[in-house]
Amino acid sequence: MEGMQKIRRGTGFRGVLNYVFGRDADHKKFPGVLIGGNMSGTGPRALSREFGITRKLRPDIGKPVWHNSLRLPKGERITQEQWVAIADAYMEKMGFGTLHPRCYVLHDDFEGQHVHIVASRVALDGKVYLGKNENLASTRHIHSLEYEFGLTITKGPEYTPDGKIKMPEARQPTNQGRIGKSRPHGS
């Protein structure tokens, strides 16, 4: 299973909710289906109003929106109930409490089954999720969830002997394909 390359934070709940619920049929993608979370709304407008309650609690938080998705390897599928259990466990591992509003929206399209998690960084008690090093933490948690839920084990992070994540080697740019650079004919 993998997450988005970078967890997204934003200012507007309605925009991300419109995205996760409404998919363009022309691009062979299917609409999202609300499968879980801890909110009562069932669509972008109602959920956005609910998320707005936490925004009003902490107007000083400029980016209260938190968004990530979890994707299975292509061709694999699990039940909605399994997705909800995985998403709940993931959010707990990430440090979100039960008072942080969230919803889980399932996409089951040609690229593979995945769930979008949209959450408020502001809890109903006004506490704020800060999420230090959250992309690194997310990678670790996803890897542990694969074992915990019996999912296909995907390539996780590589570690150095001292226990730190091994960073990929920086690649040097090549001249091939540069704009404005002409190549000799026949090459």
| pLDDT score of 182 | 47
* Domain range list for the chain: 2-148
| pLDDT score of 48 | 97
Tokens standing for residue 5: 């390359």
Dihedral of CA atoms 121, 37, 134, 116 in degrees, nearest 10, equals -110
| pLDDT score of 31 | 84
| pLDDT score of 14 | 95
| pLDDT score of 24 | 52
| pLDDT score of 5 | 79
Nearest one of 41, 49, 44 to 32, comparing CA atoms: 44
Q: Output the tens digit of pLDDT for each of the chain's 187 residues.
A: 888 878 999 999 999 999 999 855 454 567 899 999 999 999 999 999 999 999 999 999 999 999 999 999 988 999 999 999 999 999 999 999 999 999 999 998 877 899 999 999 999 999 999 998 999 899 999 999 999 999 998 876 666 787 666 655 555 555 555 454 444 455 4
Cα three-residue angle 55-98-6, rounded to 5 degrees = 65
pTM for this entry: 0.82
Cα 166 to chain centroid, rounded: 23
Domain 2-148 in this protein, CATH class: alpha beta
Cα three-residue angle 67-70-37, rounded to 5 degrees = 60
The residues that bridge with 165 in the sheet, in sequence order, are 159
Q: What residue type is 110 in one-letter code?
A: F
Q: 3-class SS at 65?
A: strand
Dihedral of CA atoms 92, 98, 99, 105 in degrees, nearest 10, equals 80
- The dihedral region occupied by 72, where left means phi > 0, alpha psi between -120 and 50, and beta the remainder, is beta
